[in-house]
A = this chain, B = another copy of it.
Amino acid sequence: MGNETLTTRVNPDEITAIPVPVGISARHIHLSQEHVDILFGPGYELKKYKDLSQPGQYACEETLTVVGPKGVIEKVRVLGPLRKQSQVELSISDCFKLGIRAPLRDSGDLAGSASVTLVGPVGSITLKEGAIIAARHIHMHTSDAEKYGLEDGDRIYVRAKGPRGIIFGDVLVRVSDKFKLEMHVDTDEGNAVGLRNGDTVFAYKIHGHISELVK
């Protein structure tokens, strides 16, 4: 916040607002085959219910009950495909209800994350770790990243307009040729702003002035 930055003159045209569609992630569960076997029976195969917006990702017909020391949440959707390690993505509201303290994490970063119990039709399992609050992020195809000069791992600002307008800081950019341009927020974040699936938000690649952001 030195004078240097504050007195840099910026051409408004250099501040690129990248329109990004929003996907609101409700609580959900990714499972390993080992845990599918325990919860649904040995060799059980998850059934695809419908494709999700990210290529190759899908919602399954199966749901589970998530149990914590202070509460229970039923009918939590399982997503496919299988993962090496089971992961339960919850909102802060969910964590209050369950009575757990899950950390804010990027997907897949599970070391030391919260314990939670999953109950299925055949069996149950208490995960020692695996429950997280997923950090908001933008899925970006390699071609989008090149177009906008962004790299995997960048953290940028995103503005959601409207009567409850907001600027999200520290939005992780994830780049892959398997991704489709989309920002994922959780239900708390979506409801704080009043966002619906498919709404457009605006990502800013900021170097220098960002007064454009908060006008």
* A interface, size bucket: 35 or more
Roughly how many angstroms separate A1 CA and B13 CA in the complex, as a whole number?
11
A72 within 8 Å of B (CB atoms):
no
The listed residue (B170, B188, B194, B206) touching A104 by CB distance below 8 A is B194
Chain B residue nearest to A209 (CB atoms) is B211
From known contacts A163-B104, A194-B104, infer whether A209 and B6 are also in contact, taking CB-CB under 8 Å. yes
Chain B residue nearest to A206 (CB atoms) is B214
A52 within 8 Å of B (CB atoms):
no
Chain B residues near A2 (CB-CB < 8 A) = 12
A189 within 8 Å of B (CB atoms):
yes
A169 within 8 Å of B (CB atoms):
yes
A192 within 8 Å of B (CB atoms):
yes
Chain B residues near A187 (CB-CB < 8 A) = 93
Over the window 202-215 of chain A, the binary record of Cβ atoms lying under 8 Å from chain B Cβ atoms (1 yes, 0 no) is: 00001001111111
The listed residue (B92, B164, B167, B194) touching A167 by CB distance below 8 A is B167
A168 within 8 Å of B (CB atoms):
yes
From known contacts A6-B209, A9-B7, A209-B6, infer whether A167 and B166 are also in contact, taking CB-CB under 8 Å. yes
From known contacts A93-B191, A104-B194, A191-B92, infer whether A6 and B211 are also in contact, taking CB-CB under 8 Å. yes
Over the window 5-33 of chain A, the binary record of Cβ atoms lying under 8 Å from chain B Cβ atoms (1 yes, 0 no) is: 11101111000000000000000000000
